[in-house]
Structure 1
Amino acid sequence: MKYLSISLSYSICIGERIKSDPDYLPKVTVATGNPQHQKKKAAKKLHPCPDCGKTFDRPSHLERHENTHTRIKKLAPNYTCSYCGKIFAKPSKLARHERGHTGEKPYSCCKCGKCFAEPGHRKSHELTHNEERPYTCDDCGIGFFNQSKLQRHQRTHTGEKPYCCTECGKTFARSGGLKTHWLSHTGERPYLCSDCGKSFFSSGDLKVHYLTHTGEKPHCCSVCGKGFAQRGNMRAHERSHSGERPYICADCGANFAHSNYLKIHRRIHTGERPFPCPVCGKRFILSGHLGRHQKTHIPKNNT
């Protein structure tokens, strides 16, 4: 069995310095077999980096990693974000990051004019104008432009979450979900709303938040015309017309119209209760249950 290490483009605050480099990232393991191999690896003597705490099996690997700290320090004055202070190894990465603050979208679709912050996002969008979707999900029949998107989608049916946070053990179906989650440990919220100043962990959360200011609901149901701020909510709504429930629990067979409903349901099996009461510490499966519980701590007015 093998465990694969995957580097993600994280930015992690350590002390007074903010660094962005693959060698600063938390190790992500993707399990593909017998966990005994991981236990053997854990038994090896580890050599921690004095700067960031990352551990290595060999002193030579630690030494090579420490050189990246030196390199980042030299680059720091040249490639620093003027909005949040993040440091980047390349000016192109800095420019891409700063577009998240400014909202600039310089790449437009040649067919419909829709604009994007990244050329890769534009390329993916342009494929939507091509009706051919050769990769089809066996469970629900949805088609995709490439195999990687199909594989990512299939995890919504299987419940597979191969990306694990080394800080708290929480698992995710997508590497981007882990990347965003990691910011909850560092406390970093790099995406700022220019209208109200509220900050967010991801550019996607900021984009959805902007709609609360504009009132825009760009995604409309093809059956009844009802508008939604998020495409996922529109698709879930459309299933209320078709009766389709493609998200199936691998433990009990219960099926759902929305992947989020399956995610919440699975907490019954895993025992996960992510919403703790700040007063008594009792934990809940849903934020709404926590809200009702918190009212029990409010003294009743007997007058």
Structure 2
Amino acid sequence: MEEEESTDMCQTCLERGRFLYPLRKLTSTLHELGIPIRTDVTSGVCWECKTFIMKIKKFKAQVMQVQDALMAIATRQDLQSLSRLTYYSKCTYDLEIIYTDTLNVNEIKKEQIVENSLDRDTSVEANTQITYDDKSKFLKKIQKQELLESKVKDKYTMIVFTEEEMLKNREEKRNQPNYKKIPYKCESCVLGFLRKETYNQHIKKRHDKNIGKYVCNICQSCYISMKSLKKHIKKHYVVYKCTLCDYETLELWSVVSHCRLKHSKDVHGRIHCQQCSVIVGTPNELSEHMQSNHLLKCNQCNEKFKGKHTLRTHKIRIHGVKRDYICDICKKTFKTKSRLESHIVSHNTILANKMAFCMECNVQYKNIYVYRNHLKNSANHSERVYECEDCKKKFASKVYWRKHWEFYHLHKSSFKCEICNKIFISDWRLKNHRQTQHGLTRSRNHCCNVCGKKFFTQSTLRGHQLTHSEERSYMCEDCGDTFKQRPALYTHSRLVHKTTRVTTTTKV
């Protein structure tokens, strides 16, 4: 077989780099038109030349059709024109062209031909010319929006945040419990997603570098133009709030639409309820009215909800699954035994203390959650134990064992005081060392409401407040003496009974 000739050049215009249509598919057309082109080569013609060839073929067919029609009839008066153009007569003219200078051919700029983006891989940005009709529609849309804004401008307000307030709002949103529990999070935008597909779609839509070169310095979102970026950055600092209710939004059109649909008849001092004929004076009164009169009630547990969607979700999540564990006191059902135990302690303090007492270690814990953490991390309750070869101390976690080994036996730690070069096992111990030994100041924000004494932490304040109460919750199991604070019981057991095991019970 002979080796076929191959080239990437168009056989009719010599253009390179374009997508070529195979000539073998145009053999019959070229033969019909009488165009002398070799059709045995492996190359072809570009899209532009192929378009011309097909137009010539179509024009030839039209000429043949007209000639056949002319031969069939004697006169041309009954013939219908096949031209797509229309014309009309104009007798007056409102345009006059006056040439004052001679035309210089050398000064005529050559037209730049921009190839179709389908021909090349690189995209070409073309400036689109706005027609008169499009411009008119755009202006009408702007005028309509301004008219709607003017009608409701006294029903909403625009709140502008400073840089510090904006960052504080983002941090508060990041610290919300629901945001922390959500599985997939975009830390740049402070947005949470329940499904990984939705999260990946957000990353591709907002943070893909191929979107554009303009990047927001706050949330790292990418945009194709500076105008779009400025419009986006404004949303970080501006929020629109309805003055007749608690509605808030980042978009101006959204608050205008809300005020037009929800508060068309409302004015300040006269706010109509959307579900009844009651008229209230302030947004707080409207919220109280909705809470007391228009909340939806679950027919199984009598819990109230604001909307149908929330109620439907509650029924699916709470009542739509099998719950085998039932509270004997309030008849509330639970999916797991641990959730039932956590609920039961809210009914009885004595029962709560009993459920937080470890029989094997003979230790009373603060609550059932601390007790569960003890069962999880204590070597006395772990199925697998990690023992230190030097000091024979046992650990339930390999992480704790390695941390103990590196700090106490290898004297290695990443928490080092830069003032005295002393190392510590945790960041909390290093911070406490800096405050007590080197005078690092920290505020005493927790104040006792009885004596006014201030403390660094809430837990220290709670321990101090026990000194003001008559309740002596800590009792020695050896002699029966009671104490108000746990440290006092610990000191008593160590000095009197020569033991460091502390058992606490509630005095009945």
Q: Fold match, TM over 0.5?
A: no
Output the TM-score relative to the length of structure 2.
0.22
When normalised by structure 1's length, the TM-score is: 0.34
* Bigger Rg over Cα: 2
**Higher RCO structure, 1 or 2 (CA under 8 Å, sep 6+):** 1
